[in-house]
Amino acid sequence: MNLSEYSLKELLLTALESEIESRSVYETLSNRVKNAFLRDRLAFLANEEKKHGIFIEGVYKKTFPQDIIILPDETPVPLPLVKIPTEDVPLSFVFEQAMEAEKASSEFYQGLVHQFQDVKIQKTLAAFAAMEMDHYRILEAEHKTMKRFETFDTEWPMMNVGP
């Protein structure tokens, strides 16, 4: 992702906003799902996003020590948003959005690496890029399972209802 047209301040605020939004989505989903394993995975993803946000906030404060962090209403860098619809929309749809957001975040962090001279920050951002793809793969695996069960519910109503 080419980030050269954006200021470093815009990029960091975008990263921070993205991490906060992702965390919120995963926390909300974690509180909604009934499957304990999926709930734990979503809580794990929310915690990962929280850690990324803490790091980005620290980099912002180090880079712009005189500034107060004010997140923009809309980020200048176009990253996909994940919207949690009503409960009648299949969870797989939300996961598809989240997968695209994770992939875009990975590309974003790969581009952000080149905005810094500090090797520690570069390595951490490169690690974030890799972690975002790990998040993508976690979501992808859960998405495949969801699609299968959504198909069962469509083809065989009440398939999982016990005696």
Would you say residue 116 lies in a domain? yes
CATH for 106:
1.20.1260.10
- Rounded distance, CA 130 to CA 90, Å? 28
pLDDT in tens, 21-68: 999 999 999 998 888 889 999 999 999 999 999 999 999 999 999 999
- Rounded distance, CA 58 to CA 52, Å? 10
Would you say residue 104 lies in a domain? yes
Would you say residue 161 lies in a domain? no
Give the pLDDT of residue 17: 92
Would you say residue 3 lies in a domain? no
C-alpha distances in angstroms, 18 versus 8, 45, 76?
A: 15, 13, 12
Would you say residue 91 lies in a domain? yes
pLDDT in tens, 91-139: 888 899 999 999 999 999 999 999 999 999 999 999 999 999 999 999 9
Range of the domain at 95: 8-155
Number of structural domains found in the chain: 1
Q: Which residues of 116-135 are buried (b: 16+ CB within 10 A; e: fewer)?
A: beeeebeebbeebbebbbeb
